[in-house]
């Protein structure tokens, strides 16, 4: 963790940035690695709503959508943990590297009681993203 209110993860994905970026903005692709239903409007001010399961629904909005390099969105919970929509921010930076992509995800603005749960969540879902993006690329 970079700070007490932040989570930072870097990982290499054997797929080009354009492929990886799509897994954050295309509903069919997002659901391949995270959640069961979603509503996405990937433009600044557009909705990001993801039903992880029946009880946990993420809601936020896209702040920056710079395909295929950078994505920023707010993050909170419509239902589930008591962290309201827009309470935290997720920034994803994709850098072309060798034949793939270096993904850097930073989740900031988390109150200390929520850092461990969100760390566990990202550590569970990011390997699923890697597998889905590499499968789509391969």
77: in domain: yes
Range of the domain at 118: 7-137
Domain assignment of residue 90, yes or no? yes
Residue 95 resides in a domain: yes
2 lies in some domain: no
| CA-wise closest residue to 73 among 93, 90, 57 | 90
Task: Answer yes or no: is 130 within a domain.
Answer: yes
Q: How many residues does the chain have?
A: 138
Q: Is residue 1 part of a domain?
A: no
Q: Is residue 13 part of a domain?
A: yes
The confidence score (pLDDT) of residue 131 equals 98
Per-residue pLDDT band at 3 (split at 50, 70, 90): very low
Mean per-residue pLDDT of the chain: 95
> Coil, strand or helix: which one is 79?
strand
Residues 41-85: tens digit of each pLDDT: 999 999 999 999 999 999 999 999 999 999 999 999 998 778 999
pLDDT per position as a tens digit, 82-128: 899 999 999 999 999 989 999 999 999 999 999 999 999 999 999 99
pTM exceeding 0.85: yes
What would the two tokens of residue 59 be?
Answer: 């809601």
Supply the CATH number for residue 37's domain: 3.30.530.20
- Could you tell me if residue 11 is inside a domain? yes
Number of structural domains the chain divides into: 1
């Amino acid at each position: 963790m970079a700070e007490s209110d932040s989570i930072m993860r870097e990982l290499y994905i054997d797929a080009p940035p354009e492929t990886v970026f799509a897994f954050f903005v295309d509903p069919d692709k997002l659901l391949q690695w995270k959640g069961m239903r979603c509503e996405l409007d990937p433009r600044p001010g557009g909705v990001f709503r993801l039903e992880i399961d029946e009880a946990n629904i993420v809601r936020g909005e896209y702040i920056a959508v710079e395909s295929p390099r950078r994505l920023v969105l707010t993050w909170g919970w419509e239902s589930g943990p008591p962290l309201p929509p827009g309470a935290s921010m997720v920034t994803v930076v994709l850098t072309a590297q060798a034949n793939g992509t270096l993904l850097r995800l930073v989740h900031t603005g988390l109150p200390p009681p929520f850092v461990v749960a969100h760390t566990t969540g990202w550590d569970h879902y990011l390997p699923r993203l890697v597998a889905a993006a590499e499968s789509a690329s391969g």
